[in-house]
Amino acid sequence: MDVLMGGDNGQDELWLISYADLLTLLIGFFVLLVAVSPVKLSRFERLAASINGQTQAPLVNLQEKVDELIKKSKLEDRVVTREDAEGLGIELKDALLFDSGSAIIRPEGRSAIADVAKLVRELPGDRPVIIEGYTDEVPIATPQFRSNWELSSQRAINVLDALEAAGVAHHRMSVRGHADTKPMATQGTVDQQRAANRRVVIRVE
């Protein structure tokens, strides 16, 4: 009788083997997807944070600190944070940073960049920082800037220089000049839409 009972238990537990095989296949499929897809570190961090339910992802923590700084400095209309697939973007409007048609950073803009640099320096590891320059669609042609490409690139370079002067390591940073090729989908008048597109984004990956 004992032998029969033991056999029944063995039959009942056979499903565990199939279940374990299924889990193994799912894990293998997930690893395969990761291997063939360009996945950013920030995505892994968000996934890990959601799984353990305790540790907050570094970029989420940075975004909260920058948002606190924006509120404290009353810069809500001139600085915005946006998280996307590329990481965290800290968007600074040109009204804060530059005079019209100029790439020279204003004192108040330099102060804001220094505050952001301090928070970026506190991040663990040497995370890449990309400075992206954008303009509106109105062409520029001055002795200093022959096109919006040159203006957007020089503005991004000057923000990079300000970040480096505030302590962000040179080897972590790079620059992209987009001119008017990536307009934002915004509401409002033409002037308001153009103002929204004149910006520099400090992107932390």
In the block, which residue shows the tokens 């990481």? 87
- Domain finish residue from 35, 52, 69: 52
pLDDT at 1: 46
- Output the six-digit token pair for 64: 């909260």
pLDDT band per the 50, 70, 90 thresholds, residue 3: very low
Is pLDDT of 31 > 70? no
Is pLDDT of 40 > 90? no
Quick one: 77 and 17 in the same domain?
no
Quick one: 90 and 138 in the same domain?
yes
Quick one: 64 and 38 in the same domain?
no
pLDDT band per the 50, 70, 90 thresholds, residue 2: very low
Is pLDDT of 9 > 80? no
Quick one: 22 and 118 in the same domain?
no
CATH value at residue 126: 3.30.1330.60
pLDDT at 29: 66
pLDDT tens-digit map of 60-101? 999 999 999 999 999 999 999 999 888 999 999 999 999 999
pLDDT band per the 50, 70, 90 thresholds, residue 10: low
pLDDT tens-digit map of 158-197? 999 999 999 999 999 999 999 999 999 888 999 999 999 9
pLDDT tens-digit map of 125-140? 889 999 999 999 999 9
pLDDT at 196: 94
pLDDT at 131: 98
Quick one: 68 and 46 in the same domain?
no
Quick one: 38 and 112 in the same domain?
no
Q: What domain range includes position 41?
A: 2-52
Quick one: 114 and 192 in the same domain?
yes
pLDDT at 80: 96
Q: How many domains does the chain have?
A: 2
- Kindly state the percentage of the chain with pLDDT values over 90: 67
Highest-scoring range by mean pLDDT, 4-13, 18-27, 52-61, 161-170: 161-170
